[in-house]
Amino acid sequence: MITSAMIITGLLGLLMATYPPLWVMLCIQIAFAITTILMLWSVSIKSCIVAWRS
């Protein structure tokens, strides 16, 4: 899950570097929120819990 989130976030960053129109930039920002907050935080918290217990 972390790998896919990082790949998607990187591709979105490359798309953002092309200086897209405003509506595309808003879609990119929404996708950034999904890939970074929803996908990365849950996995990061779970890995911290697993590391804490071992």
Tell me the residue type at 10: G
Q: What is the pTM of this model?
A: 0.73
pLDDT of residue 24: 97
Distance CA 7, CA 51 (A): 25
Is pLDDT of 2 > 90?
no
Q: How many domains does the chain have?
A: 1
pLDDT of residue 39: 84
Is pLDDT of 1 > 90?
no
Domain membership of residue 14 as a residue range = 2-53
Over residues 21-37, the pLDDT tens digits come to 999 999 999 999 998 88
